Structure 1
Amino acid sequence: MALDLACAAAATNPPNNAVVIVANAAMPQSRELARYYADARGIPAVDICLLALPEDESMSRKDYEERLRDPLLEFLRKRKLVDQVRRNPDSIQRNETAWTTLSSSVQYLVLIHGVPLRIQDTRWTLTRVIGDQLKRINEKNAAAVDSELAMLLAGPYAIGGQIANPLFNRHGRDELKSAPGAGLIVARLDGPGAGHVRQMIDESLKAEKYGLLGRAYFDGRGISEGPYYVGDYWIREAYERFKREGFECTLDGAPATWGRSYPMEDVAVYIGWYQASVDGPFLRPDFRFRPGAVACHIHSGSAVSLRTTTDYWTGPLVARGAAATWGAVSEPFLSFMPHVDIFAARLCSARPFGDSVYMSLPALSWQVTVVGDPLFNPFRHTLEEQIRHLEQDGLPDVEWAYLREVNKMVREGRFNTALNYCREKVNATGSLVLRERLADLYARNDLYDDAGWQYEQVIEEARTVETAVRVGARWMLILRLLGDKERADKLEAIIREKWKGSEVLSWLATAQP
């Protein structure tokens, strides 16, 4: 933990010349977004590299090398951000750069909406003589553009297959003993439209000051053995890590993803798997993530396109307000996806989003694209500092920070202190979020009369059907377990009448012993 925090302090504010922005000169929106991000982050305009690139999400290997990779290297050399020397022409193999990096100040490349997403598979077929048989060996060289660019300064490498990521499972660049240019972090500010990207930039900065404010949801599959068990293990470990930080966390272990009626709301963190395209509560028309939300769905085609609000996962998550996410442009295989347990550990230890993903990512020159501001650090400030900022600015969202404080006290075994603190904050703010938690604490201590009064206050004052149904289902289940079916049925009738017509009401059917 001490190592994580010490390294994170240095990573929070990168030094001058550490960030280069890459935009598509052929698209006005791309140029405008590049300037917008540079202004927001205080990055000099001279560190914006404008390149004439294809406007499609897909580009050929030839276009990648001639229109993106080589001109970008030339830009870095002219800006004296890298020191490179030419290689011996006789040693240069097909698809290799002609340069060797001696030193570099660049730590981050930020690709802007308009820069192509993926490199097409242009593999060639090799014929080898093995014994008396001829075998044709295909080498997949398709890749996410940002994953390929992460190798920009690393020297010659084979483009077929994956390259081991030197940052994987590390705590910082200081641990790297490899060649200059290793450890380059590449992410993209991208999504279905320019408006989504602006929102991503704005809300990331807001969440840096005030922290992630909301609930955390983890959708596993209940796998206990076999090759896919590791995916569920990652998700459970991520769940435990965010619980340590005091978040109100929900973990689901059913094989299917959450249904459309699931009363999910106020989402600051979402990690789940395994469905081909966005579904469940995310399809409800009014669903929105909390500002700065971190959200990802593990699937082999989750980011085939980012310019969609309905297909795959990464684009639709961004369209619904997620500020930090990632996905696969093509089949990466589960073991080469970001290990979300490592990601959660690094992010919660105050590392920037880009660092956290790359430290959880085993392979480069491969299929994963990272979407969001790589400098975004939602744990930059301690919980105490977040509460102070929220109180000073008079923001009602302080209720979420208070909730984390309550949950951390409970986790530390200070139950009575947590109960008193929660009760005090409910009286001071009238927060329904805290009142719901107070009811849970009473119920946990078998104080059902007190719990019931608080639950029913929340249900009566609920501003959303999700709140009414979530809290109602919980209290109805307790009542039925206590043998008070009549009271539970009456409460259910009240909720159904008040929120008549909502698809979320079907979730009340789960409130049965």
Structure 2
Amino acid sequence: MGLAFCEGLVPTGMAREGIALSRTLVRQFAATVALSALTHSVLALSPAEVVIVCNDVSTESVRTAHYYAEQRRIPDANICPITCRDVEAVGREDYDTKIRMPIERFLTDRGLKDKALCLVTVYGVPLRIGDSKLADIEGKIRQTQAQLSRLQKYRNKDDEVAQAKQELERLEKQRAEQQQRGEEAAVDSELTLLFQQYDLASVAQNPFYIAYNRKAERFSRRFNMYMVSRLDAPRPEMARGLVDRAIAAERQGLKGKAYLDARGFTGTGEYALADEAIRRAQADLEQAGFPVVLENTEKLFAPGECPDAALYWGWYSLGKYVPAFRFNVGAVAVHVASSECESLRVGTGWCKRLIEEGVTATIGPTSEPYVTAFPKADLFFKLFLRGAPLAEAYFLSQPYLSWRMVLLGDPLYCPFGTGGK
């Protein structure tokens, strides 16, 4: 199957200077960042700076929130209950009235607006925001397809068939344009910009992203944004298991092999840059003591080929998990593909299946994000291996906000430092 990513395309409204910068600066900057600037101290993200968001219509959601608070010694006063439908997808209006506004009120009323640095959504909190315009277009496409199918059964309907085909072509083009600039987003990515006014039809540049910020700056409220991570899974006990495995790995250390699955791309296109970032991660991983297995062709790791797995980053199998791995406690695994976090309840997407297979953290999109939206593998690992908690490693290596990417795992997870303990 070919790549679903649209190479070279970015969502309408995305700042072009940011894309140009990412193409040139990421490659150069990642290799020259001073390691001392990436060394994280005991001043890393603290439990008191974490706010947990749960859905009070779900007993398991509330239970997961309190379990996490207890395990990480997060104050009970930092648990923010919202009331919304226990579903994975909501519309924009429900997001605004049932999720965003209640969280903003909670943070303001509790005096946490400028004290909290990270929000954690848990099992039972909606995962993604649907695009009502896109849904309307897709409904019209289905109607037109049905009409075309009926017309093609009869003779002497050539003119009507031609008109239906023309209308279908127009609608499909409209759908593609709406997918590129639409309001569809991950709930968590929108929550990064609480209290802010911004254009819903475009992404926002992440000001903490190293290639934009030009330095590895510790996360703060300087840019009025929040980190957001998610404790979610197909079943609630699996969501709580993400916490258990993170704490266990911090105590015993993260051990095993690192598996990198690049595709052998070269050049200056976005695919090539993403591929190069995977290969560049090898040096840091080996320096940290991880034996690295690099696959640098379009071949995927085969089922059962990757035992003793501690870390994985690779691509590309769209929506079809390949059971290549046996994961160790604390494993972090990321598969770069177009909709691997569309659902954590059903299907064979990588985020769902990775959690079922025992990873401690993963990253994925709720719908087509474009390859530029993923964190850069080398930057993420460079930060994580030098003691950044999971959330900071993600948000300093991830370029966009108000978009479609989701971080799954305990944001305090810090197996290479003291930040999460």
TM-score band w.r.t. shorter chain: 0.7 to 0.9
Letter in 1 for 2:103: L
Aligned pair partner of 1:316 in 335, 353, 360 = 353
Match in the other structure for 2:253: 211
2:365 is the counterpart of 1:328: yes
Q: Tell me if 1:108 matches 2:123.
A: no
**CA offset digits 1:17-39 (Å, max 9, x no partner):** x1100001111111101000000
Q: Specify every segment of 5 or more residues in structure 2 that has no aligned partner in the other structure, as ranges.
A: 1-34, 137-173
1:55 paired with 2:55, answer no
Task: Indicate yes or no: 2:338 matched with 1:300.
Answer: yes
Alignment length, in residue pairs? 339
Name the residue aligned to 2:399: 362
- How does 1:485-504 map onto structure 2 within 5 Å? none
The Cα shift of 1:368 comes to: 0.2
Deviation at 1:172, TM superposition (A): 2.8
Give the corresponding residue for 1:400. Answer: none
Please say if residues 11 and 351 of structure 1, whose CA atoms lie closer than 8 Å, have aligned partners that are also in contact.
no
Task: Tell which has more relative contact order, 1 or 2 (C-alpha 8 A, sep 6+).
Answer: 2
**Aligned partners of 2:384 and 2:393 also within 8 Å:** yes
1:381-427 deviation per Cα after TM superposition (whole angstroms, max 9, x unaligned): 69xxxxxxxxxxxxxxxxxxxxxxxxxxxxxxxxxxxxxxxxxxxxx
**Structure 1 portions without partners, runs of 5+:** 83-103, 126-135, 383-513
Matched, 1:347 2:384: yes
1:27 matched to 2:58: yes
Identify if the C-alpha distance between structure 1 residues 21 and 273 changes in structure 2 by more than 3 Å, giving closer, same or farther: same
Residue by residue over 1:60-88, the C-alpha shift from the partner in whole angstroms, topping out at 9 and shown as x without a partner, is 00000000000111111111112xxxxxx
Letter in 2 for 1:320: E
The equivalent of 1:238 in structure 2 is 281
Q: Per-residue deviation at 1:207?
A: 1.0
Q: State the partner residue of 1:337.
A: 374
Contact 2:219 2:392 in 1 (8 A): no
Aligned residues of 2:41 and 2:418 also touching (Cα < 8 A):
no
Mapped pair 1:172 → 2:217: yes
For residue 210 of structure 1, what is the amino acid of its counterpart? Q
TM-score by length of 2: 0.76
Q: Is the 8 A contact 1:185 1:358 kept in 2?
A: yes
1:118 maps onto 2:128 in alignment: yes
From 291, 294, 298, the equivalent of 1:248 is 291
Structure 1 residue ranges (4+ consecutive) displaced by more than 6 angstroms after TM superposition: none
Following superposition, the deviation at residue 175 of structure 1 comes to 8.1
Question: Residue type matched to 1:230 in 2?
Answer: L
Residue 66 of structure 1 aligns to a residue whose secondary structure is helix
Is structure 2 residue 100 aligned with structure 1 residue 66?
Answer: no
Q: 1:326 & 1:261 partners in 2: Cα distance?
A: 22
Closer/same/farther in 2, CA of residues 25 and 79 from structure 1, 3 Å limit: same
Q: Is the 8 A contact 1:167 1:176 kept in 2?
A: no
- Establish whether residue 12 from structure 1 lines up as the match of residue 44 from structure 2: yes
Q: Secondary structure at the match of 1:71?
A: helix
TM-score by length of 1: 0.63
Cα contact 2:47–2:74 (8 A) shared by 1: no
Deviation at 1:277, TM superposition (A): 2.8
Offset at 1:338? 1.1
User: Hey, what's the Cα distance between the residues in 2 that align with 1:11 and 1:110?
Assistant: 19
> Distance in 2 between the 1:344 and 1:378 partners?
12
Which structure has the larger Rg?
1
The answer to whether the 8 A contact 1:12-1:380 is kept is no
Q: Given the superposition, is the C-alpha separation of residues 219 and 174 from structure 1 closer, same or farther in structure 2, using an over 3 Å criterion? A: closer
- 1:192-232 alpha-carbon deviations (Å, 9 max, x no partner): 11121121101101111222111111111111234411121
After superposition, give the CA deviation of every residue in 1:442-490 in whole Å (9 maximum; x if it has no partner).
xxxxxxxxxxxxxxxxxxxxxxxxxxxxxxxxxxxxxxxxxxxxxxxxx
**How far, CA to CA, are the matches of 1:238 and 1:338 in structure 2?**
12
8 Å Cα contact 1:35/1:45 also seen in 2: yes
Please list the CA deviations of residues 287-320 of structure 1 after superposition, one character each: whole Å capped at 9, or x if unmatched: 6411110001000111111123x51100100111
Opposite residue 120 of structure 2, the aligned amino acid is V
What is the root-mean-square deviation in Å for CA atoms of aligned residues?
Answer: 2.2
